């Protein structure tokens, strides 16, 4: 986490999924950055997202293995309905049932130090 990215991770710690929205032109962006690349405004707000999206791509990671994670890791790229894309995990799904285009919804997984990360499960 860096000072420029705190907006995302602070919201995640509160179980909120947000993206930066430029207050001048309204464009949404992710990953967060200090300046709007479209209009160059330095003002932005955290827009809360619905948490709904579509699986854009995935990979089932087998090796190498890091002790902090359980394998296989289900890596995912999620296209959120609001128009930004995230790297994340898919959870609560068998690797054999993962399909590009499947509908997803966000859930939060606690991590060290009272923080949390957004991951995605199949939409109910």
Partner 1 sequence: MTAAIVGVGATEFSRQAGRTELQLACEAIRDALADAGMKAADVDGIVSYTVDPVEETELVRSVGFQEVGFSSRVPYGGGGSMGTLLHAAAGITSGAADVVVVYRAIRARSGSSRFGAPKTSPSPTSGHSGTTAMQWCMPYGVLTPASWMALNATRYMHAYGVTSADFGRAVVQLRAYAETNPAAWGYKRPMTLEDHQSSRWIAEPCIRLLDCCQETDGSVALVITSHQRAADLPARPVVIGAAATAGLFEQEIASDHYRPDLAVMDGSVALGRRLFDRSGFRRDELDAAMIYDAFSPILLMQIEALGFCGRGEAKDFVADGNLALDGSLPTNTNGGLIGEGYIHGLNLVLEAVRQLRGTAVNQVADARQVLVTASRTGAILTRD
Contact residues: partner 1, CB under 8 A: 1-2, 5, 30-31, 37, 56-66, 68-69, 72-73, 75-77, 85-89, 95, 100, 111, 117, 119
**3-state DSSP assignment of residue 1:** coil
CB nearer to partner 1: pick between 52 and 115: 115
How far apart are CB 19 and partner 1 at their closest, in Å? 12
How far apart are CB 24 and partner 1 at their closest, in Å? 19
Residue 14, Ramachandran bin (φ over 0: left; ψ between -120 and 50: alpha; else beta) = alpha
How far apart are CB 124 and partner 1 at their closest, in Å? 22
CB nearer to partner 1: pick between 1 and 25: 1
CB 108 within 8 A of CB 15: yes
Strands (E), the chain: 18-22, 28-29, 44-48, 52-61, 73-80, 85-89, 103-111, 115-122
């Amino acid at each position: 986490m860096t000072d420029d990215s705190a907006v995302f991770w602070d919201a995640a710690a509160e179980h909120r999924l947000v993206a930066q929205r430029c207050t001048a032109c309204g464009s949404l962006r992710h990953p967060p950055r200090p300046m709007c690349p479209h209009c160059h405004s330095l003002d932005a707000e955290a827009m809360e997202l619905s948490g709904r999206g579509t699986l854009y791509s995935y990979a089932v990671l087998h090796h190498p293995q890091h002790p902090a994670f359980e394998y296989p890791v289900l890596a995912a790229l999620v296209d959120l309905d609001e128009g930004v894309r995230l790297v994340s995990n898919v959870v609560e799904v068998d690797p054999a049932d993962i399909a590009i285009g499947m509908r997803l919804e966000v859930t939060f997984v606690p991590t060290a130090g009272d923080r949390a990360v957004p991951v995605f499960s199949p939409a109910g």
